[in-house]
Amino acid sequence: MADDMSVRIFRDELNREWEVRAVREELTERRTRLLPRPELANGWLLFRLGEERRRLAPLPPGWFVATDRQLTRWCDDAEPATRLVSRAVENAEMQAPH
């Protein structure tokens, strides 16, 4: 899907500028078992604001054309991303275009 490689910038209700991107990677069965949350296997949205990172899974269809308001809601619902994630997730996020 074309929008899986895209990046969006949006402003939340506090006028903070977030970056959001889709992260999706073909995962082997072994790598899928290493995921901290099984629902990440089908892709997720990664929200970034400075050092803060959040993940929302599963990847919402049509996310790239969502309004800033919808992206803000998804960001609010997203789970904080910690550095204690598997290498499979970390590699997928690092390879996503910035």
- 2-23 in b/e form (b: 16+ CB < 10 A) is eeeeeebebebeeeeebebbbb
Asked whether the whole model's pTM tops 0.85, one would answer: no
The structural domain count of the chain equals: 1
Nearest to 56 by CA among 87, 88, 20: 20
What does the pLDDT profile of the chain (98 residues) look like in tens digits?
344 458 999 999 999 999 999 988 666 666 656 655 666 777 889 999 999 999 999 999 999 999 999 999 999 999 998 754 455 555 556 656 55
